Chains A and B, each alone.
Chain A
Amino acid sequence: MLKNRLIAVVIVRDGGVVQSIKFKHTNVIHYDAIHAIESFNRWSVDEIALVNVSLEKSSQEKFRQILEHVSCECFVPLTAGGWIDSFEYGLELMNSGADKIMLNSAVDSDPELVTRLANHFGSQSVVASIDVVSEQNKSEVFVDRGTKATGVEPELWAQKAQDLGAGEIFFNSVTFDGARKGYDLKNLQKVCESVSIPVIAFGGAFRWKHFVEGFKAGADAVAAANIFHYTEQSTKYARRHIHEAGIPVRLEGMI
């Protein structure tokens, strides 16, 4: 039986692994990303996503080097995202050990790039991420690391990304990021219902039950960053909780 996936997200800024709260990154968790990757590998996480949230485009090459470095110790699928603004840089990341690349702002600013990368590597290698800002009556997608409003509703954005050739949606919430109250389930569910490609839930998971809520809202995979870094053996406990809730999950390394 096909299992639901548990994904660890490693957020990289200026070469270090950082914590993220409402898209602000103050605490450095690791100075070398390889320590995070080695732990996640040992704890049997199903996939790893490495995301460059540096403010400068000049971070591209350093990020590529980190990716290349960590990929040598990563034996689960590895996604790389952040600052992918050209076909050539996407290709470089794929050649540096990424199995998938994740695009965000390009869906808005350079939709053709998404299609070109999907045509070249196959849709299964192209992930589109969505950063949602939600207020009481209104939700919209932001780009440029959560700084620029697009006025587009999350489900329309997701459909557009799917039409452009993306093979997966990575759902993130600026509002829920680091808030420790679980995923933005309302918008997550809308996005899940609007596309036929897999959706990954991210942003806000702090308790094991939040993962179960994400799956129940329709996500194919659940992701977290902070919680995994700060709890020893975290992914194993998460897996046990999901399994006990009756959701099919890989049991390797389960506590």
Chain B
Amino acid sequence: MTKVAIVDYKCGNIKSLLNAFQKVGGDPVLVSDPNELLNYDRIVLPGVGAFKTAIDSLRVGGFIDALNQIYLSPDKSILGICLGLQLMCKRSWENGEHEGLGWFDADVLPFKELDTASEFKVPHMGWNSIELLRNTDLLADELNNQDFYFVHSYYVRVNDPDIAVANCDYITDFQAIVSFGNAMGIQFHPEKSQFSGLKILDAFVKFGCQQKMPEVANA
């Protein structure tokens, strides 16, 4: 069974993730020691709550270096979920300006500051469909237009369109999935998105989320 390390930095409910990875035949392990994290090839960065609290917890727990090391190891795969995705971005504007891990050239912005926000409820909570912009190993065509479960008050906007994998529409078009190198971030909760969500986690266990370099045609 493929082991999946779930970063345990006391930010969020991880029981659901453990259940979901068990369901798809992975072997999830909670890891609270950053050095131990380096022993795994599949890593999940979960997260619920405030951006600043989470990034501070990662820093205090000594996880930042380990996560960067994993990000730079081409044979490893790291998956961010919900706030986990947001932490992988350059900057968040949640109650001030905060620096993230900086793997994705993207900003995390408040729904509430959008012009038309007053007509909508925030957080964006419930099932919403995604538009798949390109295929990856993790996401086949069949997931295009499927519904997934979202709960968030801040959204991700990429500055580099090439790293956007899927979009979602609520108040504005925002990124539901972002991927660069061997990191992928998902705004919704695959562990709570029933069959479609489990398919993504299953593929992550089996294939990881490393980006294949485009093959160069032989002249």
Cβ-based interface call for B170 (8 A) = yes
CB-CB nearest in chain A for B20: A75
Cβ-based interface call for B23 (8 A) = yes
CB contact between B23 and one of A75, A96, A123 (< 8 Å): that residue: A75
Could you tell me the distance between the alpha carbons of A125 and B153 in the complex, rounded to whole angstroms?
A: 13
Q: What B residues does A94 contact at CB under 8 A?
A: 13
CB contact between B15 and one of A71, A122, A220 (< 8 Å): that residue: A71
Q: What B residues does A124 contact at CB under 8 A?
A: 123, 125, 151
The total of chain A residues at the interface (CB under 8 A) is: 36
Query: A220 CB to closest chain B CB, in angstroms?
Result: 7
Could you tell me the distance between the alpha carbons of A44 and B35 in the complex, rounded to whole angstroms?
A: 40
- Majority secondary structure of chain B interface residues (helix, strand, loop or mixed): mixed
Query: A239 CB to closest chain B CB, in angstroms?
Result: 11
CB contact between A252 and one of B19, B20, B195 (< 8 Å): that residue: B195
Which of B38-46, B68-76, B186-194 interfaces with chain A? B186-194
Within 8 A of A (CB), among B120-179: 121, 123-129, 146-147, 149, 151, 169-170
CB-CB nearest in chain B for A45: B194
CB contact between A2 and one of B19, B124, B193, B196 (< 8 Å): that residue: B124
User: Chain B: interface residue count, which band?
Assistant: 20 to 34
Q: What B residues does A121 contact at CB under 8 A?
A: 13, 48-49
CB-CB nearest in chain A for B168: A2
CB-CB nearest in chain A for B14: A95
Q: What B residues does A2 contact at CB under 8 A?
A: 124, 126-128, 170
Q: Is B169 in contact with A75, judged by CB distance below 8 angstroms?
A: no
Q: Is B123 in contact with A97, judged by CB distance below 8 angstroms?
A: no
Q: Is B194 in contact with A41, judged by CB distance below 8 angstroms?
A: yes
Could you tell me the distance between the alpha carbons of A253 and B102 in the complex, rounded to whole angstroms?
A: 39
Contact with A along B1-16 (1 / 0, CB 8 A): 0000000000001011
Q: What A residues does B194 contact at CB under 8 A?
A: 41, 44, 75-76, 252
Which residues of A come within 8 Å of B, CB atoms?
Answer: 1-5, 41, 44, 46, 71-78, 94-99, 121-125, 167, 196-198, 220-221, 250-252
A5-B127, A75-B198, A124-B151 known, 9 other contacts, Cβ within 8 Å: A2-B127, A71-B15, A71-B19, A72-B19, A75-B23, A99-B192, A121-B49, A125-B13, A252-B196
Name the 4 nearest CB pairs between A and B, nearest first: A3-B127, A250-B147, A97-B15, A250-B127
